[in-house]
Each structure stands twice: as C-alpha cells, then as structure tokens.
Chains A and B, each alone.
Chain A
C-alpha cells in the first residue's frame, strides 16, 4: 500500500512545529499562571491543607472543576455528588476531545490518554486554529506538545504559588472570593447566545432556591433545569427561524 508509506508521520519530532507551538502558546501563559494562582488560593482558603491542595492541583488539573468542588468539600457533600459535579463542569472537554482525538488516532493508547488528559481549553483552541482538519500532517504532535508543556508548567507554578500565598494570608481578606470572580470571568463569554444566557440565569436561580436540598444537590439541580431550559429556548429560536424562511 503505497499511500500508507507516503503518509506524513504525525508523531515524529518536528522542530519548526515545536517552536511554533511554544511561540503561539506564550502570550496567554501569564493569564494561565494567574488563574492557577487564584485556584491555588481558593483551595487553601476553603479549608484544604497544603498537601491536599498540592495533590489536587497535580492530579486533577481542571481549574473550573476544582473551584466547583471546593464549596462541596467544605460542606462535606458525598463524594459521588462531587464526582458528578466535576464531570458536568468538564463536559465541554468531551466536545474538544472529539475534535482533537482523530488527529492522533495512530499513537499508542497510553500516550493518547496522557495527551488527552493534559489538553485543556486553551491548548484545544490554539491547536484547532492551526490545524482545523484531521488529515495527517508532519509536526502535529510537536505543535501540540509545544502548547501543552508550557501551559501545564505555568498552571502548576501559579497554582503552587497560590497555595503557599493563600496559606500565609489571613482569612478576613476574603481571598476565596477571587475564585468566584474567576468563575464569573469564565462564564460571561459563554453566555454569548440567548439560549445559554437564559439557561445560565435559570440555573443560578434554581441553585439558590434548591440550596437546602440534601447532599448539596442544589448545584446539580441548577445544571439540569438550566440545561433543559437552554435546549427549549434553542428549539424555539430554530422553529421561529424555520417559520420565517
């Protein structure tokens, strides 16, 4: 089969692509480190010990899920509730993975697992800007690595700095509130469409009203009601569009 022989090697090291990845990934690194710092502070301010916070940042590596879990841990919610909440907050990664995974389908399975694990929002966005389609190209993996490694280091450095900073600052400063503000900044760009906006508002109100539910299920109740609302609004907008055409 001549075409498999001539097919470009996606996985081979390709110096120019590696450098391009490093270069393209550089500008947002400061923001990533700052976001890590905020999550680091929030972890110790919510009552985790320094060791627990270090463990969490190193193995979980998902800022928004970590912030979502902290109030649940503080309230001693059951582990399954925290697990489901983390999965829900991370669901956007399922879409990212579906877009990226086919580019690297030929790699050994363990390496695919680790590259998937390390690929967050920013790495996905930058990677897809350069390689929007799935056809094998030389340097794809080198480019991904160039984005991924500095991103991981910046996040962990910021996070670890935050953990030690947070444990040194008195609780009256209310630094845990910085975590809420960070989530606000993540959420605002996501409500750019009307279904998302309506869904988010409904989710927030539901979570407040359902606050007293056992096992801290108020958050998940908010997600389910908000998500269904967003889908209904989306359906209505589409039907109206179809009727007008």
Chain B
C-alpha cells in the first residue's frame, strides 16, 4: 500500500470506530435492540477475533496450513490459551506466550 492509501485506511477505520461507538449516542434516547440482532452483535466480534487467530496460528507466511511440531506459533498459542484459562491475566499470558515462542525458536531451529 502507498502512504496515501494507508492514511485513507486509517481514516476509514476512524469512521468505523465513530459508527459503532457514537451512533447511538448521537441519536440519543432509549433504544431497544431486537433479540436476534443482539445475538448477531454479540457473536460477530468473537468470531472475528477467532478468524484472525486461526490463520495466524495455523498458517505459515506462504499461506499453507502447517499442523505440526515445527509450527512454533501454534504450540506457543495453544500453551498460552491454557495459561490464560488458569491465570486469567493478559499481561502474564503475553509474556508467557512470547517466552514459549522464543524458546522454541532458539532451541529447535
């Protein structure tokens, strides 16, 4: 992307923040969201996060699936999920996950 395209992208993302956070504030007053729509609003973000994590952990930079012990991100990622479930701390989990990833990278490659 060119410099200009990146700045336009940043502007578009700022609009996305304004649209989702500020719309109802600007409208004001009480708004009841239908249950079905609420379900969609509730599930979409977690699905989006999962859809980012999946390819990040499972695929190599060339875009092919790597489901093996040579995939350090996958191993470190799985260990981090387990760590987070026990400790419930984002900061600790990131440090732990980076330590796992770095250890695998330095020891095994």
Contact = CB atoms under 8 A, between A and B. Distances in A.
B77 A184 contact: yes
A223 B48 contact: yes
Given A59-B14, A187-B53, A212-B63, A223 B44 contact: yes
Size category of the binding interface on chain A: 35 or more
B91 interface: yes
Interface size class of B (residues with CB under 8 A): 35 or more
B81 A59 contact: no
Interface in A163-196: 173-175, 177-178, 180-188, 190-191, 195-196
Interface string A37-69: 010000000001100100110011110111111
B98 A113 contact: no
Interface in B1-47: 1, 3, 5-33, 36, 38-47
Contacts of A83: 12-13, 15-16
Contact of B97 (A177, A202, A227): A177
Contacts of B85: 188
Interface of A: 30-31, 34-35, 38, 48-49, 52, 55-56, 59-62, 64-69, 71, 73, 76, 79-80, 82-83, 85-98, 100-102, 104-105, 109, 112-117, 119-120, 134, 173-175, 177-178, 180-188, 190-191, 195-196, 199-208, 211-212, 218-220, 222-223, 226-227, 230-231, 234
19 contacts: A49-B3, A56-B13, A68-B49, A87-B16, A89-B49, A91-B45, A95-B38, A95-B41, A101-B27, A102-B29, A115-B25, A177-B97, A181-B94, A183-B56, A190-B49, A204-B50, A219-B48, A219-B51, A227-B47
Interface of B: 1, 3, 5-33, 36, 38-59, 63, 65, 73, 76-77, 80-81, 84-85, 90-91, 93-94, 97-98, 101-102, 105
